[in-house]
């Protein structure tokens, strides 16, 4: 297409553009590599220069699909007419007529059924359920024998991983795969790479920045089995107790721990109790093994703290913001990995919560830690609260803010433009 776009690709992006003759491509990249901008430019060029018709940009949600819209707008400006909402439509006239790009959401697969495309970009493909790819997205290419480029940061070893490995097989001539760490983008700040490497859990850094496929990608705790023991100790020198208070359908959980060794002593878990009964149960738990009580004082916990502080002499409130929760979880990760914490094998509820507990990186770059939808993390939080006030703690990395926000980057390098 003769139209010049305000886009200057770096070497990795050029390699992708040079492979356009391959029907199925997977592009596995770290955060802020520039994959969205790269594929927006290519989709614009191919839809305008190869064949007019319908093309698709499909993401896990409409919110993520909007990033493709913004990338397209930043490159093409007024050349493209953008209208509609959920789905957004982009239309423009190229060498062979008018083309249309539909920006669709995989969490609404019914909106994709029956559509046909000459080519599609699947954004954050690893976060789209496999059945949506197999039964809904892939068939949109059948009639036209269209092409697909799937771009994503890894998310475990699911269908995107399978497709990616196929692209690495020389015998699979219709498939090709690319792999790029974040810092292969020459505009990615080196200081941000080093900061993320130093402060993030190793598995998070490997997946989100090095773009490595991990067995249990979203899991936070990877050495849980090594923390299980057959019984709790009968005595200890000093005790610290973590208490996560119930909110809505959650549970109130108390976990007591040997403040020096990290051995867990007792646990109590309950819900749907009126506050006077909860208070009685918390005080009773404390009196069995008195020590420092670290209490979640977020929301309803604040007045509860005001009530308990007159009964329990050693009590410390903690406001659980995303920042403080992240710091608590990061410290707990280190304790688990270094086997500085243990709890009875019979505490299966805690063990299951630890194994399910996961992280998520928001579009802003902020990391959040929670249980998967429909599950609880009350035991994990109570354990993290107790662990936060341990005496002797071997720390191997900086305790910095882990809610990292990626700095915005420009992929422009001056007045040059590239005609793809």
| C-alpha to C-alpha distance for 218 and 406, rounded to whole angstroms | 20
Residue-number span of the structural domain to which 330 is assigned: 224-387
Residue for token digits 């900061």?
195
Residue 324 CA, chain-centre distance (Å), reads: 18
| C-alpha to C-alpha distance for 241 and 189, rounded to whole angstroms | 42
pTM: 0.58
Query: Is the previous residue joined to 87 through a cis bond, with omega within 30 degrees of 0?
Result: yes
Quote the pLDDT of residue 215.
66
For the beta carbon of residue 41, count every other beta carbon within 10 angstroms.
27
Task: Look at residue 202 and tell me if it is in a domain.
Answer: no
Task: Look at residue 155 and tell me if it is in a domain.
Answer: yes
Quote the pLDDT of residue 193.
94
Task: Look at residue 399 and tell me if it is in a domain.
Answer: no
Quote the pLDDT of residue 306.
85
Task: Look at residue 299 and tell me if it is in a domain.
Answer: yes
CATH number at residue 67: 3.40.50.300
Is the domain of 77 the same as that of 180? yes
Q: Which two tokens stand for residue 201?
A: 């859990």
Is the domain of 247 the same as that of 174? no
Please report, in angstroms and rounded to a whole number, the separation of the first and last CA atoms in the chain: 8
The 3-state secondary structure of 114-128 reads CCCCCEEEEECHHHC
Quote the pLDDT of residue 419.
37
Of 193, 214, 238, the residue at which a domain comes to its end is 193
| C-alpha to C-alpha distance for 176 and 262, rounded to whole angstroms | 49
| C-alpha to C-alpha distance for 268 and 281, rounded to whole angstroms | 9
Quote the pLDDT of residue 393.
45
What are the E-state strand segments in 30-140? Answer: 54-59, 81-83, 88-94, 97-105, 119-123
Task: Look at residue 75 and tell me if it is in a domain.
Answer: yes
Starting at the edge strand found earlier in the chain, the sheet holding 264-270 runs 264-270, 252-258, 239-244, 292-296, 315-318
Is the domain of 181 the same as that of 323? no
Could you write out the DSSP letters of every residue in 160-200?
Answer: HHHHHHHHT-TT-TTEEEEEE-GGGSTTS-HHHHHHHHHHS
Starting at the edge strand found earlier in the chain, the sheet holding 24-29 runs 81-83, 88-94, 97-105, 54-59, 119-123, 147-152, 24-29, 175-180
Quote the pLDDT of residue 420.
40
Is the domain of 281 the same as that of 348? yes
CATH number at residue 244: 3.30.420.240
Is the domain of 71 the same as that of 189? yes
With CA atoms as reference, report the closest residue to 236 among 211, 259, 213: 259
Is the domain of 345 the same as that of 242? yes
Is the domain of 131 the same as that of 240? no
Low-confidence residues in the chain, pLDDT < 70: 1-5, 215-218, 248-249, 300-302, 363, 365, 374, 391-420
Task: Look at residue 409 and tell me if it is in a domain.
Answer: no
Task: Look at residue 3 and tell me if it is in a domain.
Answer: no
Task: Look at residue 405 and tell me if it is in a domain.
Answer: no
Quote the pLDDT of residue 415.
33
Is the domain of 63 the same as that of 163? yes
Query: Which residues lie closer than 8 Å to 245 by C-beta, 6 or more apart?
Result: 252, 278, 295, 296, 298, 300, 301, 304
Domain count, the chain: 2
Is the domain of 355 the same as that of 297? yes
Is the domain of 375 the same as that of 241? yes
Is the domain of 184 the same as that of 244? no
What are the E-state strand segments in 245-325? Answer: 252-258, 264-270, 292-296, 315-318
Is the domain of 92 the same as that of 180? yes
| C-alpha to C-alpha distance for 378 and 67, rounded to whole angstroms | 34
């Amino acid at each position: 297409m003769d139209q010049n776009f305000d886009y200057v690709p770096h070497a990795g992006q050029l390699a992708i553009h040079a492979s356009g003759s391959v029907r199925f491509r997977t592009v596995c990249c770290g955060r802020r590599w520039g994959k969205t901008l790269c594929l927006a430019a290519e989709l614009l060029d191919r839809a305008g220069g190869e064949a007019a018709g319908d093309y698709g940009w499909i993401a896990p949600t409409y919110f993520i699909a909007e990033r493709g819209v913004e990338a397209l707008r930043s490159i093409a400006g007024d050349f493209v007419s953008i209208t509609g909402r959920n789905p957004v439509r982009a239309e423009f006239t190229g060498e062979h007529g008018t083309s249309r790009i539909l920006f669709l959401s995989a969490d609404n697969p019914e909106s994709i059924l029956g559509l046909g495309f000459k080519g599609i970009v699947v954004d954050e493909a690893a976060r789209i359920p496999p059945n949506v790819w197999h039964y809904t997205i892939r068939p949109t290419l059948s009639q036209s024998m269209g092409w697909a480029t799937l771009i994503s940061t890894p998310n475990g070893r699911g269908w995107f991983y399978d497709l990616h490995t196929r692209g690495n097989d020389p015998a699979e001539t219709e498939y090709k795969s690319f792999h790029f760490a974040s810092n292969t983008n020459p505009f990615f700040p080196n200081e941000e790479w080093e900061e993320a490497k130093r402060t993030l859990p190793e598995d998070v850094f490997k997946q989100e920045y090095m773009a490595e496929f991990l067995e249990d990608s979203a899991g936070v705790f990877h050495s849980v089995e090594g923390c299980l023991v057959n019984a709790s100790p009968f005595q200890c020198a000093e005790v610290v107790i973590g208490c996560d208070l119930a909110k809505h359908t959650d549970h109130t959980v108390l976990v007591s721990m040997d403040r020096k060794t990290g051995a867990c002593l007792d646990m109590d878990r309950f819900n749907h109790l009126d506050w006077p009964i909860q208070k009685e149960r918390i005080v009773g738990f404390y009196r069995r093994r008195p020590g420092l009580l670290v209490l979640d004082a977020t929301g309803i916990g604040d007045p509860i703290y005001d009530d308990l502080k007159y009964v329990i002499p050693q009590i410390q409130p903690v406001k659980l913001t995303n920042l403080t929760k992240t710091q608590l979880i990061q410290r707990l990760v280190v304790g688990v990995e270094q086997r500085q914490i243990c709890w009875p094998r019979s505490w299966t509820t805690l063990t299951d919560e630890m194994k399910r507990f996961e992280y998520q990186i928001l579009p802003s770059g902020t990391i959040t830690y929670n249980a998967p939808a429909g599950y609880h993390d009350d035991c994990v939080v109570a354990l993290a609260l107790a662990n936060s006030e341990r005496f002797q703690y071997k720390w191997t990395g900086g305790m910095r803010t882990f809610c990292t926000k990626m700095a915005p980057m420009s992929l422009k390098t001056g007045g040059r433009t590239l005609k793809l």
